Amino acid sequence: MAAGSTYTPIATTTVGSAVSSITFSSLGSYTDIVIVCNGTGGISSNDSSILLQFNADTGSNYSTTYLLGDGSAAASGRIGPSTAVYSMRVNGTTNSTGIAHVQNYSNSTTYKTVISRGNTPQYAIALVGLWRSTAAITSIKLLEQNGGNFQTGFTATLYGIAAA
């Protein structure tokens, strides 16, 4: 992200009744995209990652590397190939926030990278995801890792970052 960049709100979805996914399809023209998710009891699973799929690609073209810690122990690992990027870790019973930064989403010559973080009462987590496609991202679908639903009150906001 270039110095002096600004976040421009593009869209916000606040869930009114349980839904299995949230899709953003009007991304605008920015350098990067940031997704911020939050809410108390926003997902149906007690502790889960929010998955990201790009351009309706459900193939095994994604992978994720993660670091997590609970204050007394740490762990790391890799997930993939998978059908989505594992992203922000949130909790279904307490207030938590997750942030995902999709870099160079409109570039059509490189794979796409996602850097995200989330907080839950159990532990903090940082993730780096990769979508193995050179296609520009035109839509982003959010899913709950365990196949559950986003619950009433869950909020997802999409921001664009314009280079200074």
CATH of domain 6-162: 2.60.120
pLDDT at 65 over 90: yes
Residue 114 pLDDT: 96
Residue 162 pLDDT: 82
Q: Distance between CA 25 and CA 39 in Å, rounded?
A: 22
- Using a pLDDT cut of 70, give the percent of the chain over it: 84
Average pLDDT over residues 112-121: 85
CA 18 to chain centre: 19
User: Among 50-64, 86-100, 141-155, which is the least confidently predicted range?
Assistant: 86-100
pLDDT: is 161 or 41 the higher one? 161
* pTM score of the predicted model: 0.88
Q: Distance between CA 107 and CA 20 in Å, rounded?
A: 29
Residue 45 pLDDT: 57
Structure tokens at 140: 């982003």
> In the chain, where are the structural domains located?
6-162
DSSP letter (8 states) at residue 43: B
